[in-house]
C-alpha cells in the first residue's frame, strides 16, 4: 500500500501520492475482503500479528483464553495450542509466560507458515490433526477450535464466509465435533477452550461424558460464556 505511514501523508499534504495501490486495496475491500488481510496485520493482546487468508483473523474474545492461561497455568508447564492458526494464542503465551514450554499445532500447513512468521522461533510448531502422532504428554491444552455449526456458515458476514478459511470456522454439523475430538485425546491434561455462542450446555455434557470437571467458565464482554476450563476427575 502506501510507502509512508498515514500520519506522514496527512502531515505532508503537498506530496504527490500514487493512487494505484490505494485503488487496488479499495477494490479488495469492496469485494468484501477483511481489512486485516488487506493490511496484512491485526492486533492481538497488544501486539501486531501478520495475517492473510491462510488463517482466521484473531478475535478479541480469544484474549480471554490467553488471560485464563496466564492466570491458571503453573510455572514451567508444557502447553499445546491446538489449531494455532496465526499463532495468536501460542505466541502471546510465549511472550507473557516465558517460563512455559509452548507448542502450537495445526492441521493446515498453510496456517503454520503464517504462525511461523509470527512466532519467529519463540514457539515450536507441528503439523498435526489434533494430537495425532503425539506420544508426549501435555500439562495443559489451550485451544480456540473451529466451533461454528456447518449450517450456520451461510448466515455469517461475507468477510467471514467468503474469505476466512472454512476449516478454521466449522468442524461439522454440530459445531462441537472438534471439542469432542480434543477431549478424546486430552489424557490427563487440563484444558482452556473457547466455545461458541449457546454451546455451554453441550460442552458441559461432552466434558462430563469424557470425565472432566468444569472448573471455570469465563464470559466475554457481551456476557456470553466464551471460555471453559476443564480438568479430568481426580487429576487436579
Ligand atoms: C478458530 S481457528 C483458531 C486460530 C487461532 N488459534 C486463533 O484463535 O486465532 C481454528 C484453527 O484450528 C485449525 N484446525 C481445524 N481442524 C483442525 C484439526 N483437526 N487439527 C488441528 N487443527 C485444526 C484450523 O486450521 C484453524 O487454524
Q: Ligand 1: does its nearest atom lie under 6 Å from the Cβ of 118?
A: no
Question: Average pLDDT, stretch 137-147?
Answer: 97
Predicted pLDDT of residue 21: 78
Q: Ligand 1: does its nearest atom lie under 6 Å from the Cβ of 170?
A: no
Q: Torsion angle, CA of 210/216/218/224, rounded to 10 degrees?
A: 50
- Ligand 1 centre distance from Cα of residue 35 (Å): 21
- Provide the pairing of β-strand 41-44 with 47-50: antiparallel
Per-residue pLDDT tens digits for 104-136: 999 999 999 999 999 999 999 999 999 998 877
Predicted pLDDT of residue 2: 65
Window from 18-27, 31-40, 180-189, 203-212 with minimum mean pLDDT: 18-27
Question: Which residues does 124 contact at the CB level (< 8 Å), separation at least 6?
Answer: 102, 103, 104
Q: Ligand 1: does its nearest atom lie under 6 Å from the Cβ of 106?
A: yes
Question: Which residues does 142 contact at the CB level (< 8 Å), separation at least 6?
Answer: 65, 69, 79, 80, 81, 82, 89, 90, 93, 191, 192, 193
- Closest residue to atom 19 of ligand 1, CA basis: 129
Q: Ligand 1: does its nearest atom lie under 6 Å from the Cβ of 123?
A: no
Per-residue pLDDT tens digits for 60-95: 999 999 999 999 999 999 999 999 999 999 999 999
Closest atom, ligand 1, to C-alpha of 83: 12
For the record, the C-alpha cell of 108 comes out as 493446515
| pTM of the complete model beyond 0.85 | yes
Predicted pLDDT of residue 4: 76
**3-class SS shares of the chain: helix, strand, coil, % to 5:** 35, 20, 40
Predicted pLDDT of residue 74: 98
Asked whether the predicted pLDDT for residue 8 surpasses 80, the reply is: yes
Q: Ligand 1: does its nearest atom lie under 6 Å from the Cβ of 146?
A: yes
Asked whether the predicted pLDDT for residue 236 surpasses 60, the reply is: no
Amino acid at each position: 500500500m502506501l510507502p509512508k505511514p498515514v500520519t506522514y501523508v496527512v502531515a505532508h499534504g503537498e506530496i504527490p501520492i500514487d493512487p494505484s495501490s490505494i485503488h487496488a486495496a479499495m477494490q479488495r475491500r469492496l469485494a468484501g475482503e477483511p481489512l486485516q488481510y488487506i493490511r496484512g496485520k491485526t492486533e492481538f493482546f497488544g501486539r501486531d500479528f501478520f495475517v492473510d487468508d491462510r488463517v482466521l483473523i484473531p478475535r478479541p474474545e480469544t484474549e480471554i483464553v490467553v488471560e485464563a492461561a496466564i492466570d491458571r497455568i503453573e510455572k514451567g508447564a508444557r502447553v499445546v495450542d491446538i489449531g494455532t492458526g496465526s499463532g495468536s494464542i501460542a505466541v502471546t503465551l510465549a511472550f507473557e509466560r516465558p517460563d512455559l514450554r509452548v507448542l502450537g499445532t495445526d492441521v493446515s500447513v498453510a496456517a503454520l507458515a503464517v504462525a511461523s512468521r509470527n512466532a519467529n522461533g519463540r514457539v515450536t510448531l507441528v503439523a498435526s490433526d489434533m494430537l495425532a502422532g503425539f506420544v508426549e504428554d501435555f500439562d495443559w491444552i489451550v485451544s480456540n477450535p473451529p466451533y461454528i455449526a456447518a449450517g450456520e456458515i451461510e448466515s455469517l458476514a461475507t468477510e467471514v464466509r467468503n474469505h476466512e478459511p472454512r476449516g478454521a470456522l466449522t468442524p461439522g454439523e454440530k459445531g462441537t465435533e472438534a471439542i469432542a475430538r480434543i477431549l478424546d485425546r486430552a489424557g490427563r491434561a487440563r484444558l482452556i477452550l473457547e466455545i461458541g455462542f449457546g454451546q455451554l450446555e453441550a460442552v458441559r455434557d461432552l466434558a462430563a461424558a469424557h470425565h472432566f470437571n468444569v472448573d471455570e467458565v469465563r464470559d466475554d464482554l457481551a456476557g456470553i460464556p466464551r471460555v471453559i476450563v476443564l480438568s479430568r476427575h481426580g487429576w487436579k
